Amino acid sequence: MTQELATSAPVSTANALELEDLEVEYKVRGAWKKVLRGVSLSIAPGESYGLVGESGCGKSTAAFAALNYLPRNGRVSSGSIHVAGKDLLAMSDADVRTLRSTQVSMVYQNPTSALNPTIHIGDQVAEVFTLQGVGGSEAQDRAKAMLQKVQISDPTGVMGRYPHQLSGGMNQRVVIAMALAKDPTLLMLDEPTTGLDATVEAEVLDLVAALRQEFGTSVLFISHNLDVILRMCDKVGVLYAGRVVEQGTVDEVFHNPRHPYTVGLLRCIPRAGARKDQGRLDTIPGFLPGLGETLPGCVFADRCALVQDVCRTDEPPLYDVGAGHISRCHFHEQAQDLPRNTSPVAVTEERPAESSDRVPVISTRNVRKTFHQDGHEVRAVEDITFTLAPGETLGLVGESGSGKTTLARLLLGLTTPDEGSVVELDGVPVAGAIGKRDREQVRSLQIVFQNPDAALNRRFSIKRIIGRALTMLMGTRGEQLDTRLRDLTHSVRFDVRLIRAKPTQLSGGLKQRVAIARAFAGDPKIVVCDEPTSALDVSVQAAILNLLAELQVKNDTAYLFISHDLGVVRYLSDRIAVLYLGRLMELGAAETVFGPPQHPYTEALLSAVPHVDGDERPRIKLTGEIPSHADPPSGCVFHTRCPRYIGDICKTEEPELKEVEPGHFWRCHYDVDELRTLQQSAPETRPEIGVSGGQRGAEPPV
């Protein structure tokens, strides 16, 4: 211990991480390609530094370099890396190992795959202590204490479990526990909450913030989510094509950006309640330069609307724009006047009358789905009734396991609903299973998935993929097929020259365009969009959202839009349905649902999301795990977690879905005025309630 103290003493003065002019190269087909181009950054003790940028810009490479963990084909070609004052590149292998085991930790995306599937959680955490020479049972005790620190309920039980038995959020806590067990000088988090539910994300971020306070750890936080960076970091660096193009305090960079790339990124995100009918999202034209491309001038020149001749020849130096804020742009003063890439005007067309007066394209009554699992009945979807008008978007939100995707599959006929459920297309009841629907019905209901790879046959060319959809759904053949194909690719802004490519040769954004083209091939009335942009970078996401909005107006298509990104849902949706444990908790116009008075669950869900625009509503913490479908809580299914819990009535009586205002429904014992008054302030500490049936031993952390 004393020795440890002695070695860590100088650490408090040295920067936790210091990259100087770091160049990293990857060997691709025999040639070295630059991935990082002279990255310099420093993280002071106790500081939290965020690194943002699109995928492929080198964020993770920078982090792995700081651990001296580059892939076999990677090398540091010049520059230096100092961790806690020590020169990493001069270290022996043994020293690097010591550094990893005592001073630097990393937490990454996909916690479940980051843990060994065949080793008990407890042993995996204890290993960190064993490595420092702590004996068997003491290592176990310390591991348990660590699990307690990361607020895992029932740490003793979790110690003896395997990763696949825990939820993603729980596993991420375990990984964080492992990372902090060594009390590191530097903690690196690489997209730690990507893929987690908003509520779980909020909990994990809270936890990291609290532990950072407690341990005084410096943090390198990598995320594509600017909101998360704003919330978690003191300083931020914007990385583009392996170069830090702007750096400063988060406040400065996000509210007074001085580089066109940062400006562009910030404009891509649907924020401040932006909606499709108010204007298009801005996008960033073009693509990231290829790996290792020689860029004599500004790395962003090819995509910058402010580009001048000088940009192409002279690398911009680091301009100090005040208060430690630096920008690598010759024209940093004009950065915020960056012309838009898309027209700000929303695509609108004369809408025939009020949409609610028209016959709904789809309507459901009492849709239910019960799965049978090991003799249990699992009610995945319970009694869902709603309608969708032509050209309207209904956003579906809720945590994972809320039944969003099951509901979508039920409508599509991919899953057959229970007896008694009614799904009507254009006022005509349809069969539950897709095989029993006629071609017309199949054609009118299409889907776009999150992962286009799953939907596109990788062996077929784009032409064949879209062509087949046209032939199968519309019976289009011959010359007509070519014309329709061209129209369709044009309408999704897919470059016709790429039509012979295979899906694997395309970027994620292009693939998603193909998937959208295919969904629109049959001129559908309804398209289910299941997280269509969550795998994409923000600039690509903006382009896809614009495209969806445009296609909707042009074709009068209705969308059922599923996303965990509430900003995105809000942008595209006319109405929102909030699901919890397979039940419809709230349904109403988007603006109504997004503001008070709102259902307590919606309120909590929304408050979990951090905002770049700094919406300062107090956070409501949703504690505990989502109860199991097999054994839902009695009364109001949300009562075990509800921040506005009334009393016994919530535990004993299930509230009806009632219309509290015209067109606004919710399932809560409160009425509209009561919640309006209540929601003017944050909820009191939640009244104590007994743990009732349905909770999986997940008590709110103390």
Return the residue matching tokens 């097999």: 630
d(C-alpha 240, C-alpha 234), whole Å: 20
Is 17 an interacting residue with respect to another protein (CB under 8 A)? no
End-to-end alpha carbon distance in the chain: 30
Closest approach, Cβ 158 to another protein, in A, equals: 12
Judged by CB under 8 A, the chain residues 101 through 160 that form the site for another protein are 101-102, 105-106, 108, 110, 113-119, 127-128, 131
3-state SS class at 383: strand
Contact pick of 11, 16, 62, 67 for another protein (by CB under 8 A): 67
Is 16 an interacting residue with respect to another protein (CB under 8 A)? no
d(C-alpha 110, C-alpha 363), whole Å: 37
Contact pick of 644, 660, 664, 665 for ligand SF4 (by CB under 6 A): 644
Structure tokens at 258: 């001085």
Structure tokens at 449: 């998935």
Residue 71 in contact with residue 277, Cβ under 8 Å?
Answer: no
What does 105 bind: another protein, ligand SF4, none (CB cut-off 5 to 8 Å by kind)?
A: another protein
Contact pick of 646, 672, 682, 689 for ligand SF4 (by CB under 6 A): 646
Judged by CB under 6 A, the chain residues 249 through 278 that form the site for ligand SF4 are 260
User: Using H for helix, E for strand and C for coil, what is the string for 85-119?
Assistant: CEEHHHCCHHHHHHHHHHCEEEEECCHHHHCCCCC
d(C-alpha 307, C-alpha 311), whole Å: 6
Q: At what angle do helices 462-474 and 478-491 cross, to 10 degrees?
A: 110
Is 518 an interacting residue with respect to ligand SF4 (CB under 6 A)? no
Span interacting with ligand SF4, options 483-491, 547-555, 587-595, 668-676, rule CB under 6 A? 668-676
Structure tokens at 154: 């029932």
Span interacting with ligand SF4, options 155-163, 209-217, 459-467, 632-640, rule CB under 6 A? 632-640
Is 98 an interacting residue with respect to another protein (CB under 8 A)? yes
Cis? peptide before 597, omega within 30° of 0 = yes
When the beta carbons of 64 and 670 are compared against ligand SF4, the nearer one is 670
Is 32 an interacting residue with respect to another protein (CB under 8 A)? no
Is 34 an interacting residue with respect to ligand SF4 (CB under 6 A)? no
What does 162 bind: ligand SF4, another protein, none (CB cut-off 5 to 8 Å by kind)?
A: another protein
Whole-angstrom CA distances from 303 to 260, 336, 608 are 9, 15, 34
Binding mask 330-369 for ligand SF4 (x = CB under 6 A): xx--------------------------------------
Contact pick of 21, 97, 255, 648 for another protein (by CB under 8 A): 97
Span interacting with another protein, options 33-41, 92-100, 459-467, 674-682, rule CB under 8 A? 92-100
Give, for 40, the enclosing helix (H) or strand (E): strand 31-43
Sign of CA dihedral 383, 385, 391, 395: negative
When the beta carbons of 154 and 383 are compared against ligand SF4, the nearer one is 383
Residue 679 in contact with residue 617, Cβ under 8 Å?
Answer: no
Structure tokens at 649: 């009535």
Is 100 an interacting residue with respect to another protein (CB under 8 A)? yes
Rg (CA), the chain: 27
What does 398 bind: another protein, ligand SF4, none (CB cut-off 5 to 8 Å by kind)?
A: none
Partners of 422 in the β-ladder: 365
Residue 235 in contact with residue 250, Cβ under 8 Å?
Answer: yes
What does 298 bind: another protein, ligand SF4, none (CB cut-off 5 to 8 Å by kind)?
A: ligand SF4
d(C-alpha 418, C-alpha 423), whole Å: 11
Closest approach, Cβ 623 to ligand SF4, in A, equals: 14
Side chain identity, residue 697 = G
Closest approach, Cβ 620 to ligand SF4, in A, equals: 12
Binding mask 295-334 for ligand SF4 (x = CB under 6 A): ---x-xx--x-xx---x----x------------xxx---
Q: What is the DSSP letter of 597?
A: S
| Among 76, 101, 71, CA closest to 87 | 76
When the beta carbons of 120 and 619 are compared against ligand SF4, the nearer one is 619
What does 178 bind: another protein, ligand SF4, none (CB cut-off 5 to 8 Å by kind)?
A: another protein
Contact pick of 41, 639, 665, 683 for ligand SF4 (by CB under 6 A): 639
Phi, psi of 497 (to 5 degrees): -65, -20
Q: At what angle do helices 168-180 and 121-131 cross, to 10 degrees?
A: 10
What does 300 bind: ligand SF4, another protein, none (CB cut-off 5 to 8 Å by kind)?
A: ligand SF4
Contact pick of 22, 41, 170, 175 for another protein (by CB under 8 A): 175
Side chain identity, residue 599 = H
Structure tokens at 509: 């954004």
Side chain identity, residue 465 = I
When the beta carbons of 665 and 670 are compared against ligand SF4, the nearer one is 670
Is 669 an interacting residue with respect to ligand SF4 (CB under 6 A)? yes
| Among 71, 69, 95, 70, CA closest to 84 | 95
Closest approach, Cβ 101 to another protein, in A, equals: 3
Closest approach, Cβ 599 to ligand SF4, in A, equals: 6
> What letters, b where the CB count within 10 A reaches 16 and e where it falls short, cover 215-243?
eebbbbbbbbbbbbbbbbbebbbbbbbbb
When the beta carbons of 37 and 231 are compared against ligand SF4, the nearer one is 37
Return the residue matching tokens 């016994």: 648
Span interacting with another protein, options 91-99, 204-212, 549-557, 656-664, rule CB under 8 A? 91-99
| Among 217, 394, 195, CA closest to 207 | 217
Is 178 an interacting residue with respect to another protein (CB under 8 A)? yes
Name the residues that contact another protein, by CB under 8 A. 67, 69, 97-102, 105-106, 108, 110, 113-119, 127-128, 131, 162, 164-165, 167, 175, 178, 401
Name the residues that contact ligand SF4, by CB under 6 A. 260, 298, 300-301, 304, 306-307, 311, 316, 329-331, 600, 636, 638-639, 642, 644-646, 650, 655, 668-670
